[in-house]
Amino acid sequence: MDGYFPRWSLKTEGVILPDERLPAGQTVVLGLQHVVAMFGATVLAPILMGFDPNVAILFSGIATLIFFVAVGGRVPSYLGSSFAFIGPVLAATGATVGQANPNIGVALGGIIAAGVLYTIIGVIVMVAGHRWIERLMPPVVTGAVVAAIGLVLAPIAIGSASGTGPADPNGSGFARFIAMLTVLAVALVAVYAPGVWRRLPILVGAAIAYLVYLVLANAIGLGAPIDFAKVGAAAWFGAPRFTSPVFTPGAISLIAPVAIILVAENLGHIKAIGAMTGRNLDPLLGRAFVGDGVATMVSGSFGGTGVTTYAENMGVMAVTRIYSTLLFVAAALIAILLGFSPKFGALIQTIPVPVLGGLSIVVFGLIAAAAGRIWVENRVDFSEPKNLITVAVALVLGAGNFKLTLGGFTLDGIGTATFGAIILYHLLDQFGPPAENREPRGSGGVADA
């Protein structure tokens, strides 16, 4: 390294590496593309938790700049709202998905605690190296945790998609129709859309479902109409509504363990980016964890969501083969500008709950399905009983949202699945029989069940 930040050299064609740059105009345009790529998920997460999407967008930009500085401008990545926080936040606050959260302050205290824990892990990695993280959370454990996240969120998605609530506990057929239409639209865009549009299935699918809902509800009267009054009354520019954190032991115990999930997520993302760019980014893992942890603390201090590196933006880089880290500076600045537009925030708030439910089915399902990719790419051997049992237990703890209270601290399904998978795997690995004494494949043991 020739300095803390690289000296970005100008390049106008071919693969653009992290320490290279495009002309300023192209950098801004491609930065906007990265904003669009992260937009759907970064806006969806705060809406599901009842947070202000303007604040989330604003702090996604600020978080990306913090991360950029922490890694010395050497890791191309955008930080957006983390879906791992949704389940714990809803559990800690008792909020209803898609509606304003009356206890945001309590959730923010937990988010900040997760950021503190995340930062501490990052500092330890900087001092002791990153190998211990990989030993603590091998792919079988990481995949189990990721799958549990998706499963614990499944009832939330189904409730929104069905339009269930106190006034209509059985839901409505119209809500289910819109939710399924949303799922279909997202799927068709992801599989059949041309060019870069295929990289934006959440955004494009949501737009299609929104327009259909608008016609069927506002024009034909089949459902509750979308109210645009607040959009018309909102100013084009103005400060978002910041919220102060409140620290309570219960919320901290529910939300802080999400830091473990963020570690696993960030670890996988950085290794993937390293493979795409042909660069060994492992030495920067500790600084990446610290940057993400500090960014989460800053976001939570003002009303934003916890943040994480985004796979959506990695997809854009894989398609374009442009990895310049300066693109993410441009993207961050654009996001900050959007955060200061109340009219933009009011428009986001008009998204119907059934549309959000349909998006949730896809997004939460993709989270769970990502576990399979982790296991396949790392060739996890499920003929090994320790692997099979670790995953089996974690999945049920997550799907059943198993809660555990210890000394006044309560872990929900994500927390118990995370710590359960880590502890169970290492117990079985430490005290299990040596390899030569294990049952061979096809012997009729647990592995063949």
Report whether pLDDT(449) > 50: no
Q: What is the pLDDT of residue 312?
A: 65
Report whether pLDDT(104) > 90: no
Q: Which has the minimum average pLDDT: 17-21, 348-352, 366-370, 431-435?
A: 431-435
Whether 441 maps to a domain, the answer reads: no
Q: Where are the beta strands (DSSP E) in 70-138?
A: 79-81
Whether 406 maps to a domain, the answer reads: no
Task: Identify which of 10-19, 110-119, 242-251, 278-287 has the greatest average pLDDT.
Answer: 110-119
For residue 20, the cross-strand partners are 9
Q: What is the pLDDT of residue 412?
A: 67
Whether 5 maps to a domain, the answer reads: no
Whether 238 maps to a domain, the answer reads: yes
Q: Which has the minimum average pLDDT: 97-101, 250-254, 287-291, 399-403?
A: 97-101
Q: What is the pLDDT of residue 299?
A: 93
> What percent of the chain clears pLDDT 70, i.e. is strictly above it?
86
How do strand 9-10 and strand 20-21 relate by DSSP bridges?
parallel
Whether 146 maps to a domain, the answer reads: yes
Whether 394 maps to a domain, the answer reads: no
Burial class (CB in 10 A: 0-12, 13-18, 19+), 436: exposed
Domain count along the chain? 1
213-269 pLDDT, tens digit per residue, is 888 888 887 777 887 887 777 788 888 888 889 898 878 887 888 887 788 778 777
324-334 pLDDT, tens digit per residue, is 889 999 999 99
77-95 pLDDT, tens digit per residue, is 899 888 778 878 887 887 7
SS3 18: coil
Token pair 């309560």 is found at 410
The amino acid that residue 7 corresponds to is R
Whether 309 maps to a domain, the answer reads: yes
Domain membership of residue 34 as a residue range: 17-380
Q: Is the pTM of this model over 0.75?
A: no
Q: What is the pLDDT of residue 441?
A: 43
Q: Quick one: average pLDDT of 409-421? A: 74
Report whether pLDDT(47) > 50: yes
Element (H, E) at 259: helix 258-277
Q: How far apart are CA 40 and CA 362, in angstroms?
A: 12
CB 281 within 8 A of CB 287: no
Q: How far apart are CA 101 and CA 386, in angstroms?
A: 41
CB neighbours of residue 136 within 10 Å: 16
Which of 66, 63, 64, 73 minimizes the C-alpha distance to 3?
73
160-207 pLDDT, tens digit per residue, is 777 654 444 445 788 888 888 888 998 888 788 887 676 667 778 888
Sign of CA dihedral 168, 174, 180, 182: negative
Whether 412 maps to a domain, the answer reads: no
> Would you put residue 3 in left (φ > 0), alpha (ψ -120 to 50) or beta?
left
